[in-house]
Amino acid sequence: MSNQVIVWSMLIPPWLTLFFMKRQEIKKWMPAALFVMVTTTIIHEVGITWGIWETHENAYPLGHMISFTYGALPIGAMWILKYTYGRFWLYAAVQLVGSAILVFIVQPWLHVRGIFVYVDQNNALAGIGAFSTTLVHLLLVYLYQMWQDEGLVLPKRNSSPAGLQPAAAKPVPDDNPDE
C-alpha cells in the first residue's frame, strides 16, 4: 500500500461516515469537531516549530500538516461525543483508549512508513509527551462542548431584592370595579 493511499484514507473516509449520522447530530457536534481541528493544528504547528516531529508525506493541499488532523480526529471526536456525551468518565475512557492507540500504535506505524516522524527517534518520552498532550486536549474538547450546550454558563442573577417586582409585572387585583 502506498503512503498516499494511507494519507488520503485518513482524510476522506472519516467524512463519509457522516452519512450515517443524523443532520441534527452533525449540527450539534460539528463545533466540537472544528475545535478539534483548530487545536490539533496549533499542537502540530508547535511540534514542528520546536523540532519535535516532522511530516514527510501528506495529501497535496495540506502541505506539512498530517491529514488525520482534518479527517479522522475531528470526525472521531464527533462519534465519540455522540455516544458518550453527558457521561464524562465513559468519554474519558474511550478517548484514553483512542489516544493510546493513536500515540503508541498508529504514530509509530506512520513513523516506520516515513509519513510522520519524531525528530529525536531515541527519545522515549516523545510518545508519553504526546499522550499527556492528548489528555489535556480531550478535557478541553469536552469543556468546549459543554460551553456550546450552555452547560458552563452561570445562571443570570436578578439584581433586585427578593419579592420586589416592576409595576408591570404585578398581578391585577381581583376586585375590578368596572364589572
Reference 3, options 111, 104, 98; nearest CA is: 111
Structural domain includes residue 71:
yes
Q: Containing domain of residue 52, as a range?
A: 3-148
Residue 87 maps to a domain = yes
- For residue 162, being part of any structural domain is answered with no
> How far does Cα 127 stand from its chain's mean position?
20
Residue 157 is assigned to a structural domain of this protein = no
Q: What is the value of pTM for the model shown? A: 0.77
What are the pLDDT digits (tens) for 54-98? Answer: 888 877 776 767 788 889 999 999 999 999 999 999 999 999 898
**What is d(CA 146, CA 28) in angstroms, rounded to the nearest whole number?**
11
Q: What is the pLDDT of residues 33-61, one digit of tens each?
A: 999 999 988 988 888 888 888 888 877 77
When divided into structural domains, the chain yields a total of 1
Cell of 68: 488525520
Rounded Cα gap, residues 69 and 53, in angstroms: 14
Distance CA 49, CA 42 (A): 10
In a domain, 112, yes or no: yes
Q: Tell me, yes or no, whether 163 lies in a domain.
A: no
Cβ atoms of 58 and 171 closer than 8 Å: no
Closest CA to 73 of 130, 147, 10, 116: 10
Q: Is 155 inside any structural domain?
A: no
